[in-house]
Structures are given as C-alpha cells and as structure tokens.
Amino acid sequence: MEYEFIVVGGGLVGSAVAYGLAGKGCRVRVLDEGDRAFRASRGNFGLVWVQGKGWDFPSYAKWSNSAANLWPEFNQELSESSGVDTGYTRPGGLELYLSETEWENRSQVMAQVRQHVGDQFEYEMLDHAALKKLIPQIGKDVVGASYSPQDGHVNPLYLLRALHQQMDAKGVSYRPNEKVDNIEYLDGEFIVHTQTGTHSAAKIVLCAGLDNQRLGAMLDMQVPVTANRGQILITERAQPFLHYPTLHVRQTQEGGLQIGDSHEEVGLNDGTGVEIMAMIARRAVRLFPLLARMQLVRAWGALRIMTPDGKPVYQSSQSCPGAFAIATHSGVSLAAAHAGPIVDWMMGIAEHPLISYFSTVRFAINADTKGKGSCGVCSIE
Amino acid sequence: MFVRLNKNQPAMVSVTFDGKPLQLCGGLSVAAALLEAGIGHFRETPVTGSPRAPFCMMGVCFDCLLIIDGIANQQACMTQVRKGMIIERQSGSADAIAQGDRS
Amino acid sequence: MTEHYDIVIIGAGPAGMAAAQTAARHKAKILILDEQAAPGGQIYRASETNAKLDRPELGESYQSGLPLVHAFRESDVSYVPNANVWQLSEDREVGYSKDGIARMVIGKQVIVASGAQERPFPVPGWTLPGVMTVGAAQILLKESEIGIENAVFCGSGPLLYLVVHQYLMAGIPVKAVIDLQPGGNYFKALLKLPGALASLSKIIQGWGWKRDIVRAGVPLINGVSDLRISEYNAANGVEYYRAGRWHRLDSEHVLLHQGVVPNINISRAAGCDCQWNAVQCCWNVVVDDWFESSLSGIAVAGDGAFIGGGVAAEYSGCIAALGALAKIRRIDNRERDRLAHPIRAAYTKEMRLRPFIDALFKPAKHFRIPKEDDVVVCRCEEISVAQLREVIDIGCPGPNQLKSFSRCGMGPCQGRFCGLTVSELIADITGKTIEEVGYYRLRSPIKPLRLGELANLNFPSGD
C-alpha cells in the first residue's frame, strides 16, 4: 500500500486533516480538484467563532468552544513553521442587532449556550452605549450586540496557504486536478480511481465538500449535504478602524472591509447576484454608516457545505472500516480540532467523547425534522 | 518635462493640492493637469509605501489614485479638473473615518 | 426602476458607435453607456474637440474617425457618458453608476464594445513614477495637447511607431527608441505577406515612419535582449542589454508598449467563453459570424473580442448590430444578410493585414514572462515573480488558487495588468498549456462602485 491515508479534498477541512496526520508521522496523499473547483474555503468569512454555536445542540456548543480554545496554539505552530502570517487574532467578536426583539432572542441564545458549556463560555450582552465605546463608528440603528472574548478571526486563504505549505514541508503527496471517479474497498485496502490513475491506502478521509455525498455512498456512508450560497463583498483597503470582527463585517489584516452573510439555495451556482449584493450592502451601511463612501472592489460567491442541521458530520463507515467522512461549513473555526482530536480519532489513538454525537445517525433519528436547524451563527432557520 | 503644444493656453483653474493653492489647466483630467503642473508622484502604495504616478491614463491601471474632495481612491485620469477641487496625495490606504459617513 | 431597452451597448469607441448608429436606423430602443466624457473610445479620443483645432500631427487615420463620431451624435439613441459599468450578467442585466447613483437596465440584446488596453510590460522598474505606456502618452497628446519631452520609447508594435511619428510631427523631442521586436519575427511575418499585399500601402506607411525617425536623428536601438528601468541619483533611466553588455540612457520618462490586447473583463465576468490566441498571446472572446458570444443575446464587437484595429471595429459593430436586430425581429434574416454583405466584404479586406501584423509584432517571450525575482507582476498588490514562484512551487493548480494564496490579482485593476503575465508564467513554470492553466475567475463589480450606491439600488418587487 502506497499510503496510510488518502485525503479526498484539499480545502480547509482536507488540508487541516492532512497537516495533522502528517504531523503525527503518517504517509498521506491528498487528492484535490483543479483551479476552478468550488472551494468552499474561498467563501469562508474567516471567523473563528464560538458565541451562539450549539444553543440547540449541547455537544456542538462544547465542541465549538474547545475547538476555538485549541486555535491559538494551532496557529502559533502553523505560522511559525510555515512562515505564513495567517492573520489570526482573538480580540473578541460581536454580533450586531438592529431590533430589540433580535437582541432579546440573542440574549436567550447566549444564556442557553452558557448552560450547556458552563462558565468556560464567556460573553456579555451590550447595549448601544456600551457598543459605541468599543466601536465609535457604529450606526445609530444598532440597538446592541452580543460579545464574546473567545471569538476571533483569521485570513482563511492564508490559513489554507499555510496548511498547504506545511503539507508540502511534511512530505504530504498533494495532487491537484484529480477528481475522484470511484472508490473501492477491497481486502482491507481503499482503491481510489481518478482521471489519471489509481491510488491506494489503508485508510481514507472524505473531505470533499459537496462531493462527499456521492463519494460517501461508495463507502456505505450517508452524508447528506446541500449547497448553500453565500456572497461576500470586499472594499478597498482602509486604515484600521474596526478592531473587532463582527458576523456581517470584519476588517481584514490588509485593511479591506469584508462584508457578507447571505444564504441562498441556488444549486451549484457560485456566482454573484446584484439583489443579494445590494441587500448585503444595505445592511452593512446601517451597521456602519461610513461604509457608504467606501468602494466595493470585489465580490464573490461560494457554496457552503450545509448538513441538514448545520452541524458538522464526523462519520466512520461500518462496513468499510478505515473510511471517514467530514462535512461542515465551519472549516475555519474547527480547523484546530480537525488537525488535532479528529486526527487522533482517525488514527485510532483516542476518540474524543463528543465525536460520536456528530455521526450521521442523528439524521435518521431526527428524520421528521424537516428543513434546517440553526447552527447558532448564521441567520438562517 | 511635460510641454503644452498649442499657443492658446486654456483657462486656468484654482485648486488646492496637498493643502497648497495650485493653478491647473481647465478642461483636462486631474491626472493630465497635475502631470503638466510638474506633480511627479500621486500616491504611496499601501503595501510597501512605494511612490506611484499615472501609468495608462485610460482608467485600467488604478495607479493614479488620489484623495479628491475628501474621498479616497479616485482615479485622477477619469476625473475632470473643477474649480475649488481639494486634491491630496494618498499615502497608503483610505482613511475611512476622515472620509466620514453619509447619512 | 429597471429600464428595458432593445439593445444596450457598452462602450462608445468605433465598434460601439457604429453599432448604435446601425441599430438606431432601424428604430430600435438603444442605450449606449461609456465611461469617458466624450465618444470616440481610445483611437478617436477627443475627436470633436480636436476638430475645432489645428492638429495635423495626429494624422489622417485619426481624422477619419470624425464622420463616425458626428453620425453617432446624430443618431436617435440614449447616450450616457461618464457611466461606470460595473456589471453585465448572463441574463443581460447591466449595472452602472453615474454621478453617485447606481442603476440597473436590461437589454433584449447587449453588445459589448469594451475595446483594447495595453499589454502588461513587466520589466524591473515598470512601476516607477515617470514610466507610462505609449498609449498614455498618446492620450495626453490627443486630449490635452501635452507632449512628454525627451522620453525613451521602448517596445514594439504599430502604436509605438505611430506615436513617435506624431511626436516628431508635433515637434516634441524624442530621446531614443528602443525597438524590442524579436528579429525572428520578420521571417515569420514574411510567410504571411501574400495575404497582406492587399494592404501594401499600410505596410509601406509603417516602414516610412521608421525611416522618418532615423532621419530625424532619433537614436533607434535594435538588437536589445533585456531591459530594466531604475532610479539612479533620484533620476530615472533605462538600461538595455545589447551586444554583450548593459548600456544606460538617463530619462525622467520612459514610455512602454508591446501591443494592445482585448479588454475582456466585462465579457469574462458575464461568463463568455474565451480562447487563447497563440500569435497575439492574449485571450479572445469566442464569437460567431454575428459577433455573438457563447452567451445568447450578448455580442462582443471590436477590439474587445479580438484585436483588429479601429476600422475593423467599426465594421464589426455594424455586423453585431444587424445580428442583434434580427434576433429581436426588427429586421428579418434576409434583410440582415443583405445589409451585412457589403460590410462583411469590407471587414474581411480590412482583416487581411492582421496575420502579417500579428506575426511581425508578436512580443518577445522575455518581456511577457519575466524571470528576475524582483520584477513586480501584480502592480496593485506589489507581488513579485519570486513571491509567485513560492506559491507555484507548493502545487498551485492555477491562477485562482495562486490569487487566493498570494493576493495577486486581488487589487482594483482586477487582473488587467497582471492576468496575462500570471497565466503565461504558470504555464511556463509548470509546463502546462495556457489553456489548461486558464485565467482568473472574474465577477462583477468589474469596476469599483461605492457601497452606498449599491445599497440604494432599487429593486421593484417582481424583478
């Protein structure tokens, strides 16, 4: 067998996993698509977020919290070894509200998360006056915010670059332009057929985003994922003024204001649409009126990997032991967990007690829960 | 040196450049007028602070960026000189706070 | 409110003006948007103002654009100058801003006439103040009657010689011309000569310009294989490598040109298919006989599709308009073909010189694909060749991953001055074909607009 692990997918999930595996001495091959792949990574807003997550799913609340706490050390090691500044900072983060009702609801959500996680989850509800002390440029329409000092942000593209660089440095065999046609499990070995040839390994991890559903089925795993499009706007560079990332607006390390948070079901269309762009712009200008005079220089769309309840899937195959599938739209927030405890689980070193809560079995059990749950962060239901 | 070809000088227009009064040829783009007035560099880049000046004069290179009437990142080659214009070199990124907000 | 038009034309250069004029004759409801303050595009820039002045130095070819501009002004079309077009969707929705207000319009048909731009010229020092394109010098000359004294002109291509000629006619001193045309081009061009003989007069004219330059005592330097621009003692200068060593010419102003390429950003962002033109070393928009792109209802005419020059652009604009008119049934196909017939003949004749010109002026690989580590490839984000190599070395499959990892192409110019270099550089380093490598994924806004403008866009319910 050529490799101990084949990782299908070189996005934020696949590369964090490959980085972690290689770091523990495994021989890994990563099969990635080409330059025009959907790349959910490119659509990630870059938040390393804790607040609100898992208010309706206690294990997720605890998992998110512990993943965020792993981040600083993960980032230090990655940045130092790769020489790439990922731009990670943890100044605390805000979610801003334009109505009293929303603010009240948020209050309850935060209290719920505190109940699940305990005092480890730090947060504060801020009214307009308190918020204005943090961010003087806040719009008058903003009634208040929820704040957690545990929230941070990072440049997701530089994170991906750092991971790729370290994958390369640690001897991971990275192959782009290798879309997977078919996977077989034969005599304890996984044989992967791609456009150019065959690859084999003792274990396989599917981190192929939207393609996980097709590939998972080949290995007796049901991974229900749908595409959810998010559009993101970015402005010209500005001198730093927004020192806290917020859900809808954050200032990148280069100075551009990144604005987003939209959700559309448009199939496999990762383009942009002017109605949504205008909606995003309108909301941003209400939150920070000075944005009105800033120039929009780029916009893009990307397809989030949405599971039925918005929470991650960590699945291992029953009939094909050694096959794993990971599906999540929080590839940034959970990156440290993917490089750490998830790798330990897949290598058979240790299984973190929370992992089993994220198997796909929960969808069968909750089959009557139609539609999506809320992941506690996105403003979709 | 930038030289004017015709004998008929166009009417001059008063503007301020980096806080000082300056006379520019009316009817020209800000880029052309400033080049003629001997302004050799227009901005310093945000990444390395390197000096830049107009390159293409047709709106595709985005190197001739200036702060005009308080708004940053204006393409000088696509903006006409106007009496009373306040023109400033842009050093680095836009100052979003100084630009202010429009309610 | 979103206004509807029969045909929306983007760009008021020769292709756009000709399309507008043709379509207006058949009583279609036309909107033409242009980012400049007056019609003419680049080639006929400031035609109207210059018509009132005595500008013989600009030459006959330039003056010949005036009738088209006049005819355009007389046409019954809605013409919006100073319009910043930031979007064209595949459903023919055009977004543009003017005077701080953003608007959406929809065309039953759209004709993109985005014209050409200068090819990137990535040599050391090309970002220094005082370094401009030859096209920029020509714009200053045409529009503002300004000349740049004692500049060194570097590069190749008909435009370079045209502008030097115009400078000499205007009495503006030229310090030197460094001709970077590869010697091998002459032979390859000769193979295309038979087809070009119909346009012999133009070839002779071009050679006449070169002769005039020499006669005027302007140093014409050939056989140069390398070039760099640098600051020395706070003054600019050009260093050129010739006959085994480096030479230096001091000059505050260096003017660069190595051909023009189609300005394809709006077409690509809309989703039009493009193909690589291996002789011109640039991307062309794939269009059919009526200049319709791969997107139904969106035509791309003139230099914005593939380089053919100003006269060819005019003919292609007419043909595209006739095609569009037939598609919306203003004229039937027979009428369309009948009217197009003589224009096609003229267009074909005009294009006969292209293979010769393209072969003769194909830019040297060395000046398209920089090798020195410190050459700036992305002017906006200041990304050098060395920085790109680092990223390519870790296995970047193409320009989009490269963009994500390095920021190359993320600046406001949206790849207009780095995209070609990047695609060719990746192809060169990885050994892939340029078609395999591809190009940046472009999207609207293709030009910046203010968030406030976007926020205030009205969408009546049902749109």
Q: What is the pLDDT of residues C442-453, one digit of tens each?
A: 999 999 999 999
Contact B96 A238 (CB under 8 A): yes
CB atoms within 10 A of CB C48: 15
CA–CA distance, B56 with C132 (Å, rounded to integer):
6
- Has residue C454 been placed in a domain? no
Q: Flag whether residue B100 sits within 8 Å of chain A, measured between CB atoms.
A: yes
Please give the pLDDT value at position B25.
Answer: 94
- Has residue C82 been placed in a domain? yes
Burial A38-64 (b: 16+ CB within 10 A, else e): bbbbbbbbbbbbbbbbbbbbbbbbbbb
A140 shares a domain with A33? no
Please give the pLDDT value at position A372.
Answer: 47
Q: Flag whether residue B46 sits within 8 Å of chain A, measured between CB atoms.
A: yes
Q: Flag whether residue B80 sits within 8 Å of chain C, measured between CB atoms.
A: yes
C269 shares a domain with C241? no
**In the numeric block, which tokens belong to residue A121?**
């989850």
The label of the residue with tokens 């499009």 reads: A229
Q: Which CATH number covers residue C389?
A: 1.10.10.1100
Please give the pLDDT value at position A39.
Answer: 81
- Has residue C39 been placed in a domain? yes
A299 shares a domain with A235? yes
Which residues of chain A are within 8 Å of residue B93 when distances are taken between CB atoms?
236-239, 255
- Has residue A336 been placed in a domain? yes
Domain that holds residue C422: 369-437
Contact A299 C457 (CB under 8 A): no
A267 shares a domain with A210? no
C391 shares a domain with C269? no
Contact C398 A35 (CB under 8 A): yes
Q: Is the pLDDT of residue C260 over 80?
A: yes
Question: Who wins on pLDDT, A377 or C353?
Answer: C353
Number of domains chain A is built from = 3
C215 shares a domain with C185? yes
- Has residue A117 been placed in a domain? yes
HEC profile of chain C: CCEEEEEEEECCCHHHHHHHHHHHHCCCCEEEECCCCCCCCCCCCCHHHHHCCCCHHHCHHHHCCHHHHHHHHHCCCEEECCCEEEEECCCCEEEEEECCEEEEEEEEEEEECCCEEECCCCCCCCCCCCEEEHHHHHHHHHHHCEEECCEEEEEECHHHHHHHHHHHHHCCCEEEEEECCCCHHHHHHHHCHHHHHHHHHHHHHHHHHHHHHHHCCCCEECCEEEEEEEEECCEEEEEEEECCEEEEEECCCEEEEECEEECCHHHHHHCCCEEEECCCCEEEECCCCCCECCCCCEEECHHHCCCCCHHHHHHHHHHHHHHHHHHCCCCCHHHHHHHHHHHHHHHHHHHCCHHHHHHHCCCCHHHHCCCCCCCEEECCCCEEHHHHHHHHHCCCCCHHHHHHHHCCCCCCCCCCCCHHHHHHHHHHHHCCCHHHHCCCCCCCCCCCEEHHHHHCCCCCCCC
CA distance C204 to chain B (A): 29
Domain that holds residue A108: 93-149
Write the ipTM.
Answer: 0.96
Q: Is the pLDDT of residue A26 over 70?
A: yes
The HSE-up count of residue C285 (CA atoms within 13 Å, CB side) is 36
CA-nearest residue to A237 within chain C is C411
CATH topology for the B12-90 domain: Ubiquitin-like (UB roll) (3.10.20)
- Has residue C448 been placed in a domain? no
**A–B interface: beta-carbon pairs under 8 A:** 49
C125 shares a domain with C110? no
Q: Is the pLDDT of residue A57 over 90?
A: yes
Residues of chain B with pLDDT below 50 are 102-103
Question: Who wins on pLDDT, C352 or A339?
Answer: A339
8 Å CB contact between A377 and A53: yes
> Which of B69, B101, B103 should we substitute to test contact with A (largest number of A Cβ atoms within 10 Å)?
B101
Q: Which of A246-260, A291-305, C162-176, C206-220 has the lowest mean pLDDT?
A: C206-220
A161 shares a domain with A27? yes
- Has residue A79 been placed in a domain? no
Contact B93 A290 (CB under 8 A): no
Q: What is the average pLDDT value for chain C, to the nearest integer?
A: 93
- Has residue C76 been placed in a domain? yes
Question: Who wins on pLDDT, C114 or A262?
Answer: C114
- Has residue A73 been placed in a domain? no
pLDDT band at A379 (very low <50, low <70, confident <90, very high): very low
Tell me which of A257, A276, A306 is where a domain ends.
A306
A182 shares a domain with A315? yes
Please give the pLDDT value at position A324.
Answer: 98
- Has residue C404 been placed in a domain? yes
The per-residue pLDDT for range C39-68, each reduced to its tens digit, is: 999 999 999 999 988 888 898 889 999 999
- Has residue C443 been placed in a domain? no
C128 shares a domain with C222? yes
Q: Is the pLDDT of residue A83 over 50?
A: yes
Q: Flag whether residue A236 sits within 8 Å of chain B, measured between CB atoms.
A: yes
Which residues of chain B are within 8 Å of residue C413 when distances are taken between CB atoms?
60-62
C252 shares a domain with C170? yes
pLDDT band at C204 (very low <50, low <70, confident <90, very high): confident
C141 shares a domain with C55? no
Helix (H, G, I), strand (E, B) or coil at B2: strand
Which residues of chain B are within 8 Å of residue C147 when distances are taken between CB atoms?
2-3, 5
- Return the domain boundaries, chain B: 12-90
Q: Which CATH number covers residue A357?
A: 3.50.50.60
- Has residue A329 been placed in a domain? yes
CA distance A148 to chain B (A): 25
Burial C54-69 (b: 16+ CB within 10 A, else e): ebebbeeebeebeebb
Per-residue pLDDT, averaged over C299-307, amounts to 98
Q: Is the pLDDT of residue C120 over 90?
A: yes
Tell me which of C219, C239, C258 is where a domain ends.
C258
CA–CA distance, B2 with C200 (Å, rounded to integer):
36
A162 shares a domain with A124? no
C287 shares a domain with C181? no
By Cβ distance, the residue of B46, B73, B99 closest to A290 is B99
Q: Which residues contact C375 (CB under 8 A, 6 or more apart)?
A: C122, C123, C124, C126, C384, C385
A183 shares a domain with A131? no
Please give the pLDDT value at position A381.
Answer: 34
CA–CA distance, B99 with A291 (Å, rounded to integer):
10
A221 shares a domain with A312? yes
> CA C56, C156, B77, C233 torsion: positive or negative?
negative
Which residues of chain C are within 8 Å of residue B73 when distances are taken between CB atoms?
412, 448
Number of domains chain C is built from = 3
Longest dimension (CA), chain B: 47
Q: Is the pLDDT of residue C289 over 60?
A: yes
% of residues, chain A, pLDDT over 90? 87
Question: Who wins on pLDDT, C357 or C319?
Answer: C319
Please give the pLDDT value at position C1.
Answer: 66
Query: What pTM was estimated for this model as a whole?
Result: 0.94
Please give the pLDDT value at position C461.
Answer: 47
Q: Which CATH number covers residue C106?
A: 3.50.50.60
Tell me which of C328, C356, C384 is where a domain ends.
C356
A252 shares a domain with A110? no
Contact B93 A236 (CB under 8 A): yes
Please give the pLDDT value at position C195.
Answer: 67
The per-residue pLDDT for range A183-203, each reduced to its tens digit, is: 999 999 999 999 889 999 999
Residue type, C82: N
Contact B5 C147 (CB under 8 A): yes
Please give the pLDDT value at position C417.
Answer: 98
- Has residue C94 been placed in a domain? yes
Contact B48 C382 (CB under 8 A): yes
C316 shares a domain with C208? no
8 Å CB contact between B88 and B67: yes
A232 shares a domain with A302? yes
The per-residue pLDDT for range C381-399, each reduced to its tens digit, is: 999 999 999 999 988 889 9
CA–CA distance, B80 with B33 (Å, rounded to integer):
9
Helix (H, G, I), strand (E, B) or coil at B85: coil
Which residues of chain C are within 8 Å of residue B52 when distances are taken between CB atoms?
127, 129
pLDDT band at C460 (very low <50, low <70, confident <90, very high): low
A42 shares a domain with A27? yes
The per-residue pLDDT for range A345-371, each reduced to its tens digit, is: 999 999 999 999 999 999 987 655 444
A289 shares a domain with A230? yes
